[in-house]
Amino acid sequence: MLDPIFIKVLLGTLLLAASSSVVGAFSFLKGESLVGDAIAHALLPGVVLAFILGDGRNPLFLIFGALAAGLIAHYGISFLEQRTKLKGDTAISLVLSTFFGFGIMLLSAVQRTGLGQQAGLERFLLGKAAAITLSDLYVFVALAFVLLVSVAVFFKGFQLMTFNEDFAAAIGLPVQAIRFVFTILTVLAVTVGIQSVGIVLMAALLITPAAAARSWSSSLRLMLVLSAVFAATAALIGTVVSASLPKMPTGPWIVLALGGIAFISLLFAPEKGWIARRKRAKGNQLKTQRENLLKLLYGAEEREGETVAMTSDMIVAMRRQHLDGLRKTLRALKKEYLLVERPDGFALTDKGRSEGRRVVRLHRLWELYLTERLGMAADHIHPQAETMEHIITPEIEALIVKELGNPEVDPHQSPIPYEED
């Protein structure tokens, strides 16, 4: 049978992590990741002042003090950005260091009396999920419910404010009111989250799940779900490790688990992961090299009026390509039956000739489009065409041909080679 204390701590960390990460996803997408870190550090003086001035044993009172300090810090950052010449990161650093320094000073003064340690104020620095009481759990359930329901209710407004605030204002949404609600939720999310991981590590709980989720999906709804799932998974791992190993803190293990999830996501995500992007870049590079070689041979045939063969040394001299890389390209083209190797060198097959003709056609069509429609000088368009010839799809090609009226020559009076009937 599971330990009731373990279940209580697990439920608390799951709620704290999941609800904080959902709100943090919007901050991440808005490019305000460091604001959450500044707010987390700014909460400390609010917590200590609430303990000094009121009932230090009441978690609601401490949360209220943290919430007030967080709001002051948030609007302090906005004030410094709007009313002074300070940049955003400078304003954030100023508020973070000032509030946190003031909080440490107050905490040191309180702990000299011994009351701060009895009230557990030190857990706000590094978190102490194991100290969650049943009354704390009730409060966290209520706060998590408020966060998640508020995100659901204001989802459309948050979405528009995150990606296009001007458009949101243009269609009549109350942008200022939505921004105020979001500010409240951000501060509340930070206030809730520091109970498990503490002030120092709160930025990781707020932002890391969103950064990991962004690697798996471009859908905002799915990203929010994944953020909550990743944060809850990390909370589960941290709680289990902390319960299994003696004197192991829960908060740092939650952050370590989040870091592992983020690392795996950034590396192995199927579309946006580093490995997938690296493979696509490599594939695009090989595609460009193959098409450039086919274009070179087709151009030579066009000039000579007959089939042309080139040795690898001739191609290296003309393309300035490394011999090892060229050999790989030649092998790939031979395997695809685009080239044939003869005693006098490599020559195009009919299939390779058609592909080379296509690349040359796209190059010349794009050069003509740049001069005819964009007014660029003919002697400035070659580099752009060298890039676009590998990108233009058949659909775009058809639109360009239609737009230009089935042209026959490019700006340099070279014929545009269409497919032979």
Domains located in the chain, CATH noted: 4-208 (1.10.3470.10), 273-421 (1.10.10.10)
pLDDT score, position 294: 92
Q: Is the pLDDT of residue 359 over 90?
A: yes
In the chain, the percentage of residues whose pLDDT exceeds 70 is 91
Q: Tokens 């243009």 sit at which residue?
A: 170
Q: Is the pLDDT of residue 89 over 90?
A: no
Q: Is the pLDDT of residue 41 over 50?
A: yes
Q: Quick one: pLDDT band at residue 1, thresholds 50, 70, 90?
A: very low
Q: Quick one: pLDDT band at residue 229, thresholds 50, 70, 90?
A: very high
Tokens of 298: 């087709």
pLDDT score, position 125: 63
pLDDT score, position 55: 59
Long-range contacts of 321-330 (CB under 8 A, 24+ apart): 321/289, 325/289, 326/293, 329/286, 329/289, 329/290, 329/293, 330/293
pLDDT score, position 354: 93
pLDDT score, position 121: 60
Q: Is the pLDDT of residue 117 over 60?
A: no
- pLDDT digits 0-9 by tens, 234-287: 988 988 888 888 777 777 888 899 999 999 999 999 889 999 999 999 988 889
Q: Is the pLDDT of residue 116 over 60?
A: no
Of residues 250 and 391, which shows the higher confidence score?
Answer: 391
Q: Quick one: pLDDT band at residue 59, thresholds 50, 70, 90?
A: low
Q: Is the pLDDT of residue 421 over 50?
A: no
Q: Is the pLDDT of residue 226 over 90?
A: yes
Q: Is the pLDDT of residue 76 over 80?
A: yes
**Across residues 219-225, what is the average pLDDT?**
91
**Across residues 28-32, what is the average pLDDT?**
83
Tokens of 13: 């960390």
**Across residues 26-33, what is the average pLDDT?**
83
Strand-pair category, 345-348 with 339-342 = antiparallel
Q: Quick one: pLDDT band at residue 124, thresholds 50, 70, 90?
A: low
pLDDT score, position 128: 63
Of residues 12 and 72, which shows the higher confidence score?
Answer: 72
Q: Quick one: pLDDT band at residue 214, thresholds 50, 70, 90?
A: very high
Q: Is the pLDDT of residue 134 over 80?
A: no
Q: Quick one: pLDDT band at residue 71, thresholds 50, 70, 90?
A: confident
Q: Quick one: pLDDT band at residue 313, thresholds 50, 70, 90?
A: confident
- Listed in sequence order, the residues at least 6 apart from 318 whose beta carbon sits closer than 8 Å to its beta carbon are 296, 310
Q: Quick one: pLDDT band at residue 39, thresholds 50, 70, 90?
A: confident
Q: Is the pLDDT of residue 231 over 80?
A: yes
Q: CA-CA distance, 22 to 158, in Å (whole number)?
A: 12
Mind spelling out the 3-state secondary structure of the chain? CCCHHHHHHHHHHHHHHHHHHHHHHHHHHCCCHHHHHHHHHHHHHHHHHHHHHCCCCCHHHHHHHHHHHHHHHHHHHHHHHHHCCCCHHHHHHHHHHHHHHHHHHHHHHHHCCCHHHHHCCCHHHHCCHHHCCHHHHHHHHHHHHHHHHHHHHCHHHHHHHHHCHHHHHHCCCCHHHHHHHHHHHHHHHHHHHHHHHHHHHHHHHHHHHHHHHHCCCCCHHHHHHHHHHHHHHHHHHHHHHHHHCCCCCHHHHHHHHHHHHHHHHHHHCCCCCHHHHHHHHHHHHHHHHHHHHHHHHHHHHHHHCCCCCECHHHHHHHHCCCHHHHHHHHHHHHHCCCEEEECCEEEECHHHHHHHHHHHHHHHHHHHHHHHCCCCCHHHCHHHHHHHCCCCCHHHHHHHHHHHCCCCECCCCCECCCCCC
- pLDDT digits 0-9 by tens, 159-203: 888 888 888 888 888 888 888 888 888 887 777 777 666 776 777
- pLDDT digits 0-9 by tens, 2-19: 577 778 778 878 888 888
Q: Is the pLDDT of residue 84 over 60?
A: yes
Mean pLDDT of the chain: 84
